[in-house]
Amino acid sequence: MADDSIAVVDLDRCQPDRCNYECANFCPPNRSGKECIVTREERFEGEDGYEGGADQVHISEEICLGESCGICVNKCPFDAIEIINLPQELDDDPVHRYGENAFALYGLPAPQEGQVTGILGPNGIGKTTAVRILADEMAPNLGQVSGDPPAWETIMDEYRGTELQTYLEQLREGDVTVARKPQYVDQIPDQFDGTTRQLLERTDERGALDELIDRVGIRPVVDQDIDTLSGGELQRVALVACLARDADFYFLDELTPYLDIGQRMTAARLVRELADEGGRSMLVVEHDLAILDLLADTIHVAYGSPGAFGVVTSPKSTKNGINEYLGGYLENENMRVRQESIQFEEHAPRSTAEGDVVVEYPDLSKSYGDGEFSLEVDGGEIQENEVLGVVGPNGIGKSTFAQLLTGRLEPDEGEVDARLDIAYKPQYVEIDQPMRVDAFLSSITDDFGTSYWNTEIADPLQLDRIMEQDLTDLSGGERQRVAIAACLSEDADLYLLDEPSAHLDVEQRVRATTAIRRYAENHDATALVIDHDIYMIDLLADRMLVFDGEPAEHGRASPPVSMRDGMNEFLANLDITFRRDERTGRPRINKPESQLDREQKNAGEYYYSD
């Protein structure tokens, strides 16, 4: 194989007991007598600890003809093989490779003292691997997957003369301390048994615990058991536990999942303050572009082929890095990472003409328990062929309103038209059916597998590689994409999607947004989308429904309004203003109390400023 190609075998998909080794039998080098594709037992005979089953295949990258051949890729009935051409500029060996025919990472981000460094890229591209290396949780093997791992002196020679040299030397000598916030906060209850207070008191190395608890608003749950907390509460507990430590470098793997925009702003301000005032170094992996834009001084873009290889670029200015990523072309690397650029409206998007009314609902009210929470909804209507964006803090009643519309909850006052046919994707996707993805989706629509369905739904949601997996084996992001597909596959009067961006990376959010918007436009469909991602709402919505009130106590929803009026109302409640990037039109959060922030607040234009 050419030096700029790699072979990847997905051992979770390779099923030799269900095939006839078509990959090996049709491989041109194999047919000429060479051993390009062999079983792992043949390849690793006599070696201990090789990964995968003995009958699964191994591909010799030295013998393989490369992506131009691709016969094994096409012949494998389980899509278990990828032969990928690496970028021509990629001359160096990998920083780390997980094994023969396994994922390879090229490049590392460089933390800067007293700055916030961001990493932007899709899931499965190596961001967490990079963080684990820099947090001293694993040593890079420089691509040496057999024999003894490289000595630390060899690793240091690899980075001599680079920005990483000093950091790695200090890390190795124990001269720097590291604190890390994990990516999957929902796993915290599996690792700790006790109350929130007991967990957090272990981390109070700076004497800032009480202030952090109050700033993020978790004081009401500090004496609750960890396993009783919601996702948003666990996220804030994990952030406090990380920032309470006295460290030189803080690694924060996804700040925003489960948080509303107000909570995201609070988290961003805490991180920014610790960098500015404490001189600490921060490395942040984040998929909310508005928050990443506000937080980071510089960013590294990660690109490649998820699950196969990832490349971390040299640092870019935050503005240019995000713009290049959205545009789909990385200028310094001369690399196209997406065929289509992401376009934002420069002003309030899509003025909607008065259309036929699909849903008309009266004033509604709903209360829980003895004054635990109450919701008041002002009557309104949802028009045909529009996407209505729904925004508001967590715990304010948005999901309750969705369940009132679907009939899953009965209002205390008012009545919703029970004849309405609604396709509903709930906020929390719980899939416990013991069936495959393709069987599940084919049970929902007769269009399953047609060229139309594949183009409109399956392709943008990247469902092809998970069709044969069981629903119970899917990750959070995979479940989310299947749930969106299931919702859009139904024949309905109204498509109601509650937090479709949850667990999705930036690329997947773009694709999901495209699928929802395109489906609505091509089918004259009506959709109601609840989400905290401002970029997704900006790209999707024609009008807005704004919730306000006191979270967990009472909420109120005003009737649907224009995007301009809705955004101004919503952001005024949060005391946040946005501007538009002059090049791409994307929304960017203004720094609090900046000149532009004050000017827009005085003008009452919190979002669509000219």
pLDDT value of position 50? 53
- The pLDDT > 70 percentage for the chain reads 95
So where are the chain's domains? 5-85, 372-561, 575-609
For residue 137, pLDDT over 80 is answered with yes
Q: Tokens 């399953």, residue?
A: 448
Distances in whole angstroms, Cα of residue 172 to Cα of each of 135, 145, 478: 11, 22, 37
pLDDT value of position 217? 93
Q: How confident is the model at residue 46 (pLDDT cuts 50, 70, 90)?
A: low
Q: CA 227, 231, 237, 239 torsion: positive or negative?
A: positive
**What average pLDDT does the segment 206-220 reach?**
94
For residue 2, pLDDT over 50 is answered with no
Position 436, amino acid: R
pLDDT value of position 11? 87
Backbone φ and ψ of 498, nearest 5°: -100, 110
Q: How confident is the model at residue 348 (pLDDT cuts 50, 70, 90)?
A: very low
403 Rama class: left (phi>0) / alpha (psi -120 to 50) / beta: alpha
Interval 149-191: pLDDT, tens:
898 889 888 888 888 888 888 888 888 899 999 888 888 988 8
For residue 5, pLDDT over 80 is answered with no
* CATH number attached to the domain at 5-85: 3.30.70.20
- The pLDDT > 90 percentage for the chain reads 48
Q: How confident is the model at residue 609 (pLDDT cuts 50, 70, 90)?
A: low
pLDDT value of position 568? 92
HEC sequence for 578-609: EEECCCCCCEEECCCCCHHHHHHHHHCCCCCC
Strands 116-120, 81-85: pairing kind: unpaired
Structure tokens at 260: 């509303």
pLDDT value of position 465? 84
pLDDT value of position 174? 83
- Rounded CA-CA distance 610/428 in Å is 38
pLDDT value of position 427? 80
For residue 378, pLDDT over 90 is answered with yes
- Rounded CA-CA distance 569/606 in Å is 8
Tell me which architecture the domain covering 372-561 has in CATH.
Answer: 3-Layer(aba) Sandwich (3.40)
HEC sequence for 159-186: CCCCCHHHHHHHHHHCCCCEEEECCCHH
**What average pLDDT does the segment 365-375 reach?**
84
Strands 373-377, 364-368: pairing kind: antiparallel
**What average pLDDT does the segment 42-62 reach?**
72
Q: Between these two residues, 226 and 476, which has the higher pLDDT value?
A: 226
pLDDT value of position 45? 62
Same CATH topology for 5-85 and 372-561: the answer is no
**What average pLDDT does the segment 363-381 reach?**
88
Range list of H helices, 493-594 = 506-522, 534-540, 563-574
Q: How confident is the model at residue 363 (pLDDT cuts 50, 70, 90)?
A: very high
Cβ atoms of residues 485 and 458 within 8 Å: yes
Q: How confident is the model at residue 118 (pLDDT cuts 50, 70, 90)?
A: very high
Give one DSSP letter per residue of 313-374, joined into a string: PPPEEHHHHHHHHHHTEETTTTEE--SS-----SSS--PPPP--EEEEE--EEEEETTTTEE
Strands 527-530, 81-85: pairing kind: unpaired
Burial class from Cβ neighbours inside 10 Å (0-12, 13-18, 19+) for residue 235 reads: buried
| Residue 155 CB contacts under 8 Å (≥ 6 apart), including other chains | 139, 140, 142, 168
For residue 47, pLDDT over 60 is answered with no
Per-residue DSSP letter, 150: P
Q: Between these two residues, 547 and 166, which has the higher pLDDT value?
A: 547
- Rounded CA-CA distance 255/237 in Å is 11
pLDDT value of position 23? 95
Q: Between these two residues, 31 and 449, which has the higher pLDDT value?
A: 31
Position 576, amino acid: I
The mean of the pLDDT values for the chain is 88
Q: Between these two residues, 151 and 3, which has the higher pLDDT value?
A: 151
* Exposure string for 561-600, b = 16+ CB within 10 A, e = fewer: bbbbbbbbbbbbbeebbbbbbeebbbbbbbeeeeeebeeb
Interval 416-427: pLDDT, tens:
876 778 999 988
pLDDT value of position 347? 44
Longest dimension (CA), the chain: 79
Q: Tokens 């490395």, residue?
A: 283
**What average pLDDT does the segment 574-597 reach?**
88
For residue 21, pLDDT over 60 is answered with yes
pLDDT value of position 111? 85
Interval 465-524: pLDDT, tens:
889 888 888 888 899 999 999 999 999 989 999 999 988 888 888 889 988 988 988 888
**What average pLDDT does the segment 292-308 reach?**
92
For residue 1, pLDDT over 80 is answered with no
Burial class from Cβ neighbours inside 10 Å (0-12, 13-18, 19+) for residue 283 reads: buried
pLDDT value of position 117? 95
For residue 341, pLDDT over 90 is answered with no
Strands 316-317, 373-377: pairing kind: unpaired
**What average pLDDT does the segment 521-535 reach?**
90
**What average pLDDT does the segment 190-199 reach?**
91
pLDDT value of position 183? 82
**282, 287, 290, 296: CA torsion to nearest 10:** 20
State pTM to two decimals: 0.81
Structure tokens at 40: 């792992």
pLDDT value of position 345? 61
